[in-house]
């Protein structure tokens, strides 16, 4: 079996859930069959439905499990807001992921699936992150750490979307710049450039104030 390595003393139910999480993240919910999941977990297909009722039930359980994992990430984030305010580098969601989860974790890919399939769970997650980003920006503005924005909601969405983009397009970015941006090396290069743009901008304002 491919999952023996981390079975340990987990219950069969947990083993099935983990196998499903990994397969769902890699291949997508629809492309994964109950038989694949059962095989990956080293059990019979009937046991999967015994524990989770149906494939939808399993999916719901996996969603809930991943949701809890993301929530803990959330808590860590709240805690690190102080650092974000104190330091002068932007702590991206991708960076938080890379720090919170081991390299082989299927959770980043699972978040990707959630956001891309227009899943309600993904929408809820995005909404919470958006609110948190919005509040963080407000706090930063209060202490004068950000340049004021005429449209704080759009700015929050812009920053959040930029962060998530790295997660969504990780593979394409890796191919383009030659290094996986979720490795420490890639993260360093990425963060440096992001910080530069967010602090000084990327383009020089046109001298003439006359615009169409």
| Residues contributing to the site for its own copies (CB under 8 A) | 28, 30-31, 82, 86-90, 112, 115-116, 118, 122-123, 126-127, 130, 140, 144-147, 149-151, 153-159, 161-162, 164-166, 168-169, 171-173, 175-178, 189-190, 192-194, 196-206, 211-212
24/82 Cα distance (integer angstroms): 35
By CB under 7 A, name the one of 3, 39, 51, 101 that touches DNA: 51
Question: What distance in Å separates the CA atoms of residue 170 and residue 159, rounded to the nearest whole number?
Answer: 17
Nearer to DNA, 11 or 183 (CB): 11
> What sign results for the dihedral spanned by CA atoms 120, 125, 131, 134?
negative
2 belongs to the binding site for DNA (CB under 7 A)? no
Long-range contacts of 71-80 (CB under 8 A, 24+ apart): 72/100, 73/97, 73/100, 74/128, 74/132, 76/100, 77/132, 78/132
Residue 122 interacts with which of DNA, its own copies, none, CB < 5 to 8 Å by class: its own copies
Q: Is residue 147 at the binding interface for DNA, with CB under 7 A as the rule?
A: no
- Cβ-based neighbour number of residue 15 at 10 Å: 20
35 lies in the binding site for DNA (CB under 7 A)? yes
Query: What is the binding site for DNA (CB under 7 A)?
Result: 11-13, 32-35, 43-47, 49-51, 54-56
């Amino acid at each position: 079996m491919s999952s023996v390595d981390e079975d340990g003393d987990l219950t069969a139910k947990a083993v099935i859930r983990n196998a499903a999480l990994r397969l769902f993240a890699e291949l997508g919910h629809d492309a994964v069959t109950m038989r694949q999941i059962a095989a990956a977990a080293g059990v019979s297909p009937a046991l999967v439905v015994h524990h989770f009722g149906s494939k939808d039930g399993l999916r719901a359980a996996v969603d809930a499990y991943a949701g809890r994992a993301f929530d803990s990430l959330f808590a860590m984030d709240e805690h690190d807001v102080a650092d974000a305010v104190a330091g002068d580098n932007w702590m991206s969601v991708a960076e938080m992921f890379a720090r919170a989860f081991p390299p082989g974790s299927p959770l980043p890919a699972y978040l990707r699936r959630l956001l891309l399939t227009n899943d309600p769970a993904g929408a809820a997650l995005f909404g919470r992150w958006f609110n948190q980003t919005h509040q963080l920006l407000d706090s930063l503005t209060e202490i004068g750490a950000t340049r004021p924005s005429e449209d704080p909601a759009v700015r929050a969405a812009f920053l959040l979307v930029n962060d998530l983009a790295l997660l969504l397009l990780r593979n394409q970015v890796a191919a383009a710049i030659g290094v996986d941006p979720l490795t420490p090396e890639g993260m360093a290069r990425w963060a440096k450039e992001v910080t530069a743009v967010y602090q000084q901008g990327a383009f020089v304002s046109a001298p003439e104030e006359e615009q169409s």
